Amino acid sequence: MSALKLAQSLIKIKSISPNDKGCFDLIEKELAPLGFSVERVPELNSETLLAKRGNTGKVFCYLGHTDVVPSGPEEEWTSHPFEANVVDGELIGRGAADMKGSVAVFIESLKKFLITNPDPKFQIWMMLTSNEEGEPADGKINTLIESLTQQNQFIDYCLVGEASSSNTVGDVLRIGRRGSLSGNLKLIGKQGHVAYPHKVLSPILEVGPIIADLNQITWDCGNEYFDPTSFQISNIESGTGATNVVPGHLNMLFNFRFSPESTHESLKKRFIKILEKSKCEFEIEWTLNAQPYLTKKTNLLNIIQKALKTVNGQEAIVDNGGGTSDGRWISPSGSEVIELGPRNQTIHQIDEKISLSDIDLLTKIYQQILVETNNQAE
């Protein structure tokens, strides 16, 4: 099955996090004839596929996911999000760029590489999760990584197929990511009639100065590798629905994307210090989604840059922007982790797409990365 046909088949499967819904079945059928042993590891409400080929040399791992975010209103799509239609040279569908297209290209690049290199001098793994986009409570790949570490099995090079590119495929590589700290704030005031302000304490009025203070803070200045820590509010809820009632509670969801110049504990302390200025009592539920990570070793970076020079005629710029990725689970064990995938222009949007030319180009790049990895191992 070609990369396009496989990508279409995967997109047609409505694999909303944390459910794989049969994507792994298709992938296993493609990998088995290539000599891969495939293991499927359940984790709470999700599942991880781990495919391995070879038993000597360094471990090169393709890392990705088969789950997707919801499509949003299907009637707003110009082509149905789960029909995987090709329109004007673009494959349209939920997961086309994030990241079923990359998964299909993983496999196509392996097929092409193994034709001319049937006995590589390194081990090839593929690790795919059904819950990259979803909640940690449904299970993440970190449990499998911890198990592999306990068995002294480590990944040397990890290529993550997330949509890292900007204007052209391969123009940007991500060598790290900022950390992510989320919070659910509950401000507790006093409910009452709007006509008696001396008898109420409005959390809505109290949150205004809090937000103003939070918006003015420079949390840190970042460093040569990382952008500064940023703070955003994603949701605020309060009110009873009546015009004459001051609510007694307000809930606010917020998130820090933090550089190594701040710790999650220091951010918590500074946040709470601002809240203590308010007349309201408060409660906070914190969730540490990810610590920052950075790949400083250059072996994999040099391999990828050499491949890009061969295919694209130029090297990529490197950065650590964007959200979190599953690379955060791989990096702590000492792996070199780099993200290289399609253009990041439509992920999670209506009419998510990947061009057919980008599928072909990404296939050539991934195949050349495997070639360069093999050459280095000689």
Q: What is the pLDDT of residues 255-274, one digit of tens each?
A: 999 999 999 999 999 999 99
Domain match, 116 and 132 both: yes
Domain match, 297 and 350 both: yes
**Domain, as residue range, for 225:** 180-289
Q: What is the pLDDT of residues 365-376, one digit of tens each?
A: 999 999 999 999
Domain match, 203 and 154 both: no
Number of domains in the chain: 2
Q: Write down the residue that tokens 């090079």 correspond to.
A: 157
pLDDT of residue 320: 86
Phi, psi dihedral angles at 295 (to 5 degrees): -95, 110
Number of H helices, E strands in the chain: 9, 19
d(CA 327, CA 365): 20
- Among the candidates 245, 271, 289, a domain finishes at 289
Q: What is the pLDDT of residues 328-359, one digit of tens each?
A: 889 988 899 999 999 999 999 999 999 999 99
- CATH for 256: 3.30.70.360
Q: Does position 137 have pLDDT exceeding 90, yes or no?
A: no
Domain match, 56 and 173 both: yes
- CATH for 127: 3.40.630.10
Domain match, 141 and 84 both: yes
Domain match, 107 and 192 both: no
* In contact, 158 and 338? CB cutoff 8 Å: yes
Domain match, 207 and 341 both: no
Q: Which residues are part of the catalytic machinery?
A: 67, 132
Entry pTM: 0.87
Domain match, 128 and 186 both: no
Domain match, 208 and 228 both: yes
Domain match, 172 and 186 both: no
Q: Does position 323 have pLDDT exceeding 80, yes or no?
A: no
- Among the candidates 260, 289, 318, a domain finishes at 289
CA distances to 63, 106, 311 from 376, rounded to whole Å, are 21, 20, 18
Domain match, 246 and 335 both: no
Domain match, 281 and 312 both: no
Q: Does position 378 have pLDDT exceeding 80, yes or no?
A: no
**Sheet of 46-53: strands edge to edge?**
37-43, 46-53, 123-129, 59-65, 157-160, 336-339, 172-174, 317-319
- Among the candidates 255, 289, 323, a domain finishes at 289
- Would you give the DSSP letter of residue 316? P
Q: What is the pLDDT of residues 175-201, one digit of tens each?
A: 999 999 999 999 999 999 999 999 999
